Amino acid sequence: MNKKVIVVGGGVSGMTAAGALSELGMEVVLLEKDDHTGGHAGNWDRLFPSRRPGKEVIDFIEKSMSSTVEIRCGSRVTSIDRNTEGFTVNLHNGDPLTAESVVIATGYELFDARKKEEYGYGIYDNVITSAELEAIFKEGRQLVTHNGKTPQRVGLIHCVGSRDEKVGNLYCSKVCCVTGVKQAIEIREMLPGCEVFSFYMDLRMYDRNFEELYYEAQQKWGVNFIRGRLSECAENPDHSLILKTEDTLTGRPLKMTVDLVVLLVGFVPRPETRIISDMLKLQTGSDGFLSPVDEHFKDNSTSVPGLFLAGAVKGPACIVNSIADARATAVQVKAYINGEMVKW
């Protein structure tokens, strides 16, 4: 039997799945549309909650793929056909590829903050996203306002594009809360004289060591957490920003001027996810992410035999969970190719 597997998407999940499958003796081709692998995680400076450098994790996964995985960067998938022999994957460049099994690990996209126009991203100079802040950290640049001054006060806005019916996303993006706590600490580390205010609805510190990090942010770093969803953001003539919200713990309206605003943008499905689901008739949830056949027991399988899902293409997930999920997918794929029934 042919043991070819194609993994679509070269982020954390795709690379992990490819590495694991290769380890399990499969012939793996990894397709990545960008010119390098690593995905979103590759853009992250340090990871929560341990603040381990993201590069360490990416390097480890890349090494795990060893030399046996055929990595094709800059390859865009145009269509995936299921036929009697297996799958044919057509690319925008080069010949079609065939495989016994395909893993979809195309992940997610960050919410376009311009859609939350009242926060002024793309309109005011001093509004940036959490991804942009992370890039500043990663590149070792100094955090400054648009006109080069050191900010005296920074506002971090939670749940931008998540848990917000008004932008059409009711779901929680899971990683932004703790990212916000991490970034608040990092701003304080970089600029000890800068006050940091976090505006949140509630902080979902669900995983190991998250709560501890939140505690540290308050106790050690003096980050101010204000329970209130930002209602609007206006710009002063000096380009500083006026934030309006209700402090729901005191029950009073609050107005505050800050020099810089960081929007903690959530996860949204890629437009390609819709194309894939239409093409292969896969199920999606009301959130637009792909749904597995069974949320507990077939959480990597789809209704198409031989087609598997891994990672955040199924909805928001952190790196730790994506790695675990991708490994589980690899085992499922191997079992499928060997014709074994997985009963556990």
Partner 1 sequence: MINFNLFVLPFFLGLIYLVAKIGKTWYRWIKALPAIDKVKFIAGIRHPQLFLSALKEVFLEALIHRRMWKRNPLLGYMHMSFALGWFLLIVCGNIESRFYSGTHLNAPYYPIFLKFFIHDKLVLFFEVFSVPGFFRFLMDFLLLFVLSGLVLALIKRQKSKWFGLKRTTEFQLTDSISLACLWLIFPMRLLAESYTAGYYGSGGGFMTQPLGNLLVAITPFRSDYAAYSMWWGYSLSLGIFFITLPYSRYMHIPTEVLLIFFRHLEIQPKKWYSSFSDVEVQACSRCGVCIDVCQLNDAGINDSQAVYFIRGVRDKYVPEEISRKCLLCGRCQEVCPVGISTDSLRLIKRRELVSGQASDFSYLTTQRTGAPCQGEVVYFAGCMSHLTPAIIRAMKGIMEQAGISYVHLDENGSVCCGRPLMIAGKDRQAQGLIDFNKRLIGLTHAKLLVTSCPICYRVFREEYNLPIRIQHHSQFILELVKTGKIPLQGHFKNVAYHDPCDLGRGSGVYTAPRELLSKIADLVPVPQDANNALCCGGSLGIFEASQQQHNAMTAVTLDMLMKNQPEILATACPLCKKTLEKQSPVAVKDIAELVYESLPKPVYFAASGQSHPAKSYANELI
**Of residues 109, 211, 216, 235, which one binds partner 1 by CB under 8 A?**
235
Neighbours of 21 (CB within 10 A): 29
**Of residues 124, 132, 194, 331, which one binds partner 1 by CB under 8 A?**
124
Specify the stretch interacting with partner 1 by CB under 8 A; choose among 87-95, 112-120, 215-223, 328-336: 112-120
Question: Which has the closest alpha carbon to 217: 257, 186, 173, 260?
Answer: 186
CB of 41 to partner 1, least distance (A): 28
Rounded to whole angstroms, the Cα distance separating 80 from 106 reads 13
**Of residues 81, 85, 117, 189, which one binds partner 1 by CB under 8 A?**
117
CB of 251 to partner 1, least distance (A): 10
Rounded to whole angstroms, the Cα distance separating 35 from 77 reads 14
335: left (phi over 0), alpha (psi -120 to 50) or beta: alpha
Instruction: Give Cα separations from 287 to 3, 117, 174, 322 (angstroms).
Output: 34, 21, 14, 18
On whether the CB atoms of residues 41 and 57 are closer than 8 A, the answer is yes
Per CB under 8 A, 249 contacts partner 1 = no
Instruction: Give Cα separations from 20 to 25, 87, 319, 330 (angstroms).
Output: 9, 20, 16, 6
CB of 120 to partner 1, least distance (A): 5
Specify the stretch interacting with partner 1 by CB under 8 A; choose among 117-125, 291-299, 312-320, 330-338: 117-125
**Of residues 106, 130, 240, 332, which one binds partner 1 by CB under 8 A?**
240
CB of 77 to partner 1, least distance (A): 23
Q: What is the dihedral of CA 139, 145, 146, 147, to 10 degrees?
A: -120
The smaller minimum CB distance to partner 1, of residues 131 and 254, is found at 254
Cis peptide bond prior to 53, omega within 30° of 0: no
Name which of residues 150 to 169 contact partner 1 (CB under 8 A): 165-168
Per CB under 8 A, 234 contacts partner 1 = yes
Per CB under 8 A, 123 contacts partner 1 = yes
Rounded to whole angstroms, the Cα distance separating 35 from 41 reads 15
CB of 199 to partner 1, least distance (A): 13
Q: Mask: binding to partner 1, 166-205, rule CB under 8 A, as x and -?
A: xxx-------------------------------------
Rounded to whole angstroms, the Cα distance separating 57 from 64 reads 11
Contact set with partner 1 (CB under 8 A)? 115, 117-118, 120, 123-124, 165-168, 232-238, 240, 242, 247, 250, 252-257
